[in-house]
Amino acid sequence: MKILVLNSGSSSIKFKLLQMPLEKMICSGMVERIGYEDAILSIKKDEINIQETVPIKSHREGLSIIVSYLTHPEKGVIKNPQDIFAVGHRVVHGGDSFAETTLINGAVKDEINYYSALAPLHNPPNLEGIEIAEKLFPTAKQVAVFDTAFYQTMPVKARKYAIPNTFYTEDNIKVYGFHGTSHKYVSEKAIKYLGRETSKIISVHLGNGCSMTAIVNGKSVDHSLGFAPSNGLVMGSRSGDIDHSVIFHLVDGLGYSLNEVKQLLNKKSGMLGLTGSSDLRDIQAKAEEGDKNCQLALEMNAYRIKKYIGSYTAVMNGLDALIFTAGIGENSSLIRKLTCLDMDYLGIKLDSVKNEKRSNVLREINTDSSQVKILVIPTNEELEIAKQVFNLIS
């Protein structure tokens, strides 16, 4: 069964075509810079990498180009769109309506549209991707996999903000959580690896967006992102935790408009605001050359992760495994080292030699005497989506 996984964002569409249940990747790629004359189409198949700069005006055009590549008589991988049995769509916000992966119908689309108010950057392009895919793959089952679904198990005490109750009950202001597909995927791998019936796990997803989830027996009990994907850790260009009085001072005291503050905290802060770059590779290189801002930013980054490890270990009353995943978590031995430094009180002891080794499969990087397993687990959100789609429809 061929399943196409689509992640339709505001200016890009990422896709992966998988053969399920073999979990074999047939082809992957993306179109970026949709809306520009110099949009970029990249396709990866076996050892072949194609990259072309082409004008792509809209998501519809972007997805049509992807389909024409997939069905190309010589270079393509399927004969016609009917060969795709199902399309799995990543949908960022499903609010409280969706605790599970769901077959898409009109009512589901209405709900996704309803939650656009809470995820204005994500849900509208997700929905657009669904509507275009329905036209381009009319025989395929369309399935939505929600980033927020994994957090439906969080207790109310962790989901509710300490503001008047009606904002929770009537206005739906609460912690929704994000990166759920990634945290679910890596924590399930960890649970299998631990081979125990019960487990207390902290999953640390460090990409451009960063988040942490506390997971007891496979169910999330707390999470660092909140109502929107802006709380918690220091991210590529987002500040993470910040005293809300700063926002009032920026507006009332320093004369910034609310929109400027939004841009500032979401697009110009985090590692970018601290160092001038949001790419951790640049920051690490400059820190090595002695750049003080970069050195401090790396320390701040790891310090924030450490604080969350401490609080999640406390709320779970223990910790069996700490997972690092995504671009930074999988690749930056420095961030892992700074984070795990002086954590032996909590039973976390990093093996500095194992930490430096590279691999693209699950690996353990703790010392033999460490009470807590420290695991680096490559995430694969598309595979997780394909698995969930396959389970639903088979």
Q: Which is nearer to ligand ADP, 199 or 331 (CB)?
A: 331
> Do residues 233 and 224 lie in contact, with contact meaning Cβ atoms separated by under 8 Å?
yes
Using CB under 6 A as the binding rule, the residues of this chain from 219 to 238 that contact ligand ADP are 236
- 17 near ligand ADP, judged by CB under 6 A: no
What is the CB-side half-sphere exposure of residue 206 using CA atoms within 13 A? 30
Is 236 known to sit in a ligand binding site? no
- Residue entry with tokens 């180009």: 65
Pick the stretch among 150-158, 190-198, 276-284, 294-302 that binds ligand ADP (CB under 6 A). Answer: 276-284
Q: Which is nearer to ligand ADP, 213 or 332 (CB)?
A: 332
Burial of 294-313, coded b for 16+ CB within 10 Å and e otherwise, reads bbebbeebbebbbebbeebb
In Å, how far are 203, 263, 268, 308 from 235, measured between CA atoms?
Answer: 16, 14, 10, 14
Pick the stretch among 147-155, 205-213, 256-264, 343-351 that binds ligand ADP (CB under 6 A). Answer: 205-213
Is 209 known to sit in a ligand binding site? yes
In Å, how far are 101, 234, 268, 300, 308 from 238, measured between CA atoms?
Answer: 29, 7, 7, 13, 17
- 208 near ligand ADP, judged by CB under 6 A: yes
Q: Which is nearer to ligand ADP, 35 or 327 (CB)?
A: 327
- 152 near ligand ADP, judged by CB under 6 A: no
Q: Which is nearer to ligand ADP, 3 or 272 (CB)?
A: 272
Pick the stretch among 39-47, 203-211, 262-270, 310-318 that binds ligand ADP (CB under 6 A). Answer: 203-211
Q: Which is nearer to ligand ADP, 157 or 358 (CB)?
A: 358
Q: At how many degrees (to 10) do helices 59-70 and 123-136 cross?
A: 40
At CA 146, angle to CA 98 and CA 84, rounded to 5? 115
Helix locations, 103-205, DSSP H: 106-114, 123-136, 156-159, 165-169, 180-194
Q: Considering 147, 171, 291, 344, which one is annotated as catalytic?
A: 147
> Do residues 126 and 375 lie in contact, with contact meaning Cβ atoms separated by under 8 Å?
no
- 203 near ligand ADP, judged by CB under 6 A: no
- 331 near ligand ADP, judged by CB under 6 A: yes
What CA–CA distance (Å, rounded) separates 372 from 5?
Answer: 34
Quote the least distance from Cβ 389 to ligand ADP, whole Å: 20
- 29 near ligand ADP, judged by CB under 6 A: no
Quote the least distance from Cβ 236 to ligand ADP, whole Å: 6
> Do residues 89 and 145 lie in contact, with contact meaning Cβ atoms separated by under 8 Å?
yes
- 211 near ligand ADP, judged by CB under 6 A: no
DSSP structural state of residue 249: I
- 12 near ligand ADP, judged by CB under 6 A: no
What CA–CA distance (Å, rounded) separates 249 from 234?
Answer: 21
**Strand, coil or helix: what is 49?**
strand
Amino acid at 53: T
- 62 near ligand ADP, judged by CB under 6 A: no
Pick the stretch among 162-170, 185-193, 202-210, 253-261 that binds ligand ADP (CB under 6 A). Answer: 202-210
Is 330 known to sit in a ligand binding site? yes
What CA–CA distance (Å, rounded) separates 337 from 349?
Answer: 10
Q: Pick from 281, 341, 371, 394 the residue near ligand ADP by CB under 6 A.
A: 281
Pick the stretch among 130-138, 169-177, 245-253, 328-336 that binds ligand ADP (CB under 6 A). Answer: 328-336
What CA–CA distance (Å, rounded) separates 302 from 307?
Answer: 9
**Strand, coil or helix: what is 11?**
coil
| Nearest residue (beta carbon) to ligand ADP | 327
Q: Pick from 32, 279, 291, 344 the residue near ligand ADP by CB under 6 A.
A: 279
Is 217 known to sit in a ligand binding site? no
Told to judge if 222 belongs to the known catalytic residues of this protein, a careful annotator would answer: no
Quote the least distance from Cβ 230 to ligand ADP, whole Å: 14
Q: Pick from 142, 332, 370, 380 the residue near ligand ADP by CB under 6 A.
A: 332
> Where is the binding site for Mg(2+), in residues?
7, 381
User: What residues are labeled active site?
Assistant: 147
Which chain residues interact with ligand ADP by CB under 6 A? 207-209, 236, 279-281, 326-328, 331-332
